[in-house]
Amino acid sequence: MTTKMPTVKFTKLFINGDFVDSISGREFETIDPRTEEVIARIAEGSKEDIDVAVKASRVAFDHGSWPRMTGVERARIMMKWADLIDENAEEIAKLDAIDAGKLYHFCKAIEIPSAANTIRYYAGAADKIHGEVLKPAREFHAYTLMEPIGVVGHIIPWNFPSSMFVTKVAPSLAAGCTMVLKPAEQTPLSALFYAHLAKLAGIPNGVLNVVPGFGPTAGAALCSHMDVDKVSFTGSTKVGREIMCAAANSNLKPVSLELGGKSPLVVFDDADLDKAIQLAFLGVAYNKGEICVAGSRVFVQEGIYDEFEKKLVEKAKTWVIGDPFDSKVQQGPQVDKKQFEKILSYIEHGKREGATLLTGGKRVGNKGYYIEPTIFSNVKEDMLIAQDEIFGPVMALMKFKTIEEAITSANNTRYGLAAGIMTKNLDTANIMSRSIRAGTIWINCYFIFGNDIPYGGYKMSGFGRDFGLEALHKYLQVKSVVTPIYNSPWL
């Protein structure tokens, strides 16, 4: 399973336009989850490195060309960057596949080109950031300026190394910010490659810095830095809370958090059954269940429940697990040992709690972090597997009778990231859309992300939105400018 090993070209910190060793000289290993072997040794950023990177960003923001360019000029550079990513899609896809255990062919055909498209979307937005002219109640002229917020700290997770990178970086670049990004320690490779391409495209030194490292050291340093104006984080709810505390205890920097979820998929009796089964299964199996909007709680109305359960299990058994470089494979390994063990322990917990294991539940093979798609039935809402985010291919299947019951159950979670609704009935769709407390509602579809579709959480799934023009607001300050006017012909 060690075929098609990509050459890893970039392993150092990217600060102020150069690849540099960490100040401490320390390195950490990034591991191939297929084999548990070391892919490469990566410079390990810590507080001192973050300080240097923030300083480079600060200078680039306070004195550099990036915030002083027109949106048009920023857009041209971003467009070029996107083109370079397209040209290098194959190599980047290999890096994500080997680093995160993601499906290589899917990355190459979909994820990497989509990342380029996201950059193009925000390049197109860079010259469309409008303030407003206001309507004061007295004889004043007033308007708002939408100014870049300054130096941004981005901390991104390992499950979608490419998508997360551009989701954070592209809107903040379009807004005119400079930034320090810490990729997840599991998946530093593509982020460094993107930094290299950004430089080739003409993004000035210091505007985009990438410092690989660990959360408690590099991540914490970024969040508590007094000279960082904003932190944008995607990751677990637990870490999100620490980040917010760090921001509160330092300079009160605004924070946006895109955190965990326990999203419901609610299937009504009148749903297209085959489609519902397919979406429900993909809801937990896509990307090995390592996705914050996994449809990990599936509620099925009693009229179709039995048939649904039977076909769902059949579907799960056809699922192909193996080397993510193999084009026939549908699921690769979990990202690392820690996640792998955590998932298996949740599965054991589910069994102990009395849920029925319908299928799966075991690791696959004896090397690498492969886990079978796992479905539990007879799940009670207060069970841990129905409450906690497992972040693996594990589904909690539940039955419901009425729409009122479905609403109550769907909302019975501390999370609120997304929800899926399968029904042909317009009223049901409308009622559910407004009743579920979540940031995205998919009606008869699931996992439909789009550059123009804002995405983020209610409740403990976080706050702030990625994607869409909404995301720009995270990286903008609003300045009101007011001045008296005399003898205006209108007010």
Instruction: Give the residue with the Cβ less far from other proteins, 127 or 274.
Output: 127
Q: Has 258 been annotated as catalytic?
A: yes
Neighbour tally for 210: CB within 10 Å: 28
DSSP symbols for 190-248: HHHHHHHHHHHHTPPTTTEEE--B-IIIIIHHHHT-TT--EEEEES-HHHHHHHHHHHH
Q: How far is the CB of 477 from other proteins (least distance, A)?
A: 19
The catalytic residue among 258, 309, 372, 389 is 258
Q: How far is the CB of 427 from other proteins (least distance, A)?
A: 5
DSSP symbols for 19-78: EE--TT--EEEEEETTTTEEEEEEE-B-HHHHHHHHHHHHHHHHTSSGGGS-HHHHHHHH
Contact pattern for other proteins over residues 95 through 134, marking x by CB under 8 A: ----------------------x--xx-xxxxxx-x----
Q: Which stretch binds other proteins (CB under 8 A): 243-251, 375-383, 427-435, 455-463?
A: 427-435
Instruction: Give the residue with the Cβ less far from other proteins, 236 or 411.
Output: 411
Instruction: Give the residue with the Cβ less far from other proteins, 6 or 416.
Output: 416
∠ CA 375-380-384, rounded to 5°: 75
Residue with tokens 């054991």: 348
Phi, psi of 153 (to 5 degrees): -100, 125
Q: How far is the CB of 418 from other proteins (least distance, A)?
A: 17
CB burial readout 51-86, b (16+ within 10 A) else e: bbbbbbbbebbeebebbebebeebbbbbbbbbebbb
Instruction: Give the residue with the Cβ less far from other proteins, 129 or 375.
Output: 129
DSSP state of 158: S
CA–CA dist 65, 207 (Å, integer): 9
Instruction: Give the residue with the Cβ less far from other proteins, 59 or 429.
Output: 429
Does 490 help bind other proteins (rule: CB under 8 A)?
A: yes
Does 415 help bind other proteins (rule: CB under 8 A)?
A: no
Contact pattern for other proteins over residues 129 through 168, marking x by CB under 8 A: -x----------x---------------------------
Which of 193, 194, 118, 107 lies closest to 471, judged by CA? 118
What Cα–Cα distance (Å) separates residue 397 from each residue in 253, 290, 350, 487? 41, 18, 12, 69
Q: Which stretch binds other proteins (CB under 8 A): 73-81, 99-107, 240-248, 274-282?
A: 73-81
- Among 163, 186, 190, 451, interactor with other proteins by CB under 8 A: 451
Q: Which stretch binds other proteins (CB under 8 A): 17-25, 260-268, 319-327, 480-488?
A: 480-488
What Cα–Cα distance (Å) separates residue 280 from each residue in 189, 266, 316, 393? 32, 9, 10, 11
Q: Which stretch binds other proteins (CB under 8 A): 28-36, 257-265, 274-282, 483-491?
A: 483-491
Instruction: Give the residue with the Cβ less far from other proteins, 72 or 445.
Output: 72
- Among 110, 329, 357, 469, interactor with other proteins by CB under 8 A: 469
Q: By the criterion CB under 8 A, which residues form the site for other proteins?
A: 69-70, 72-73, 75-76, 79, 117, 120-121, 123-128, 130, 141, 407, 426-427, 430-431, 434-435, 451-452, 469, 483-490
Give me the active site residues, please.
258
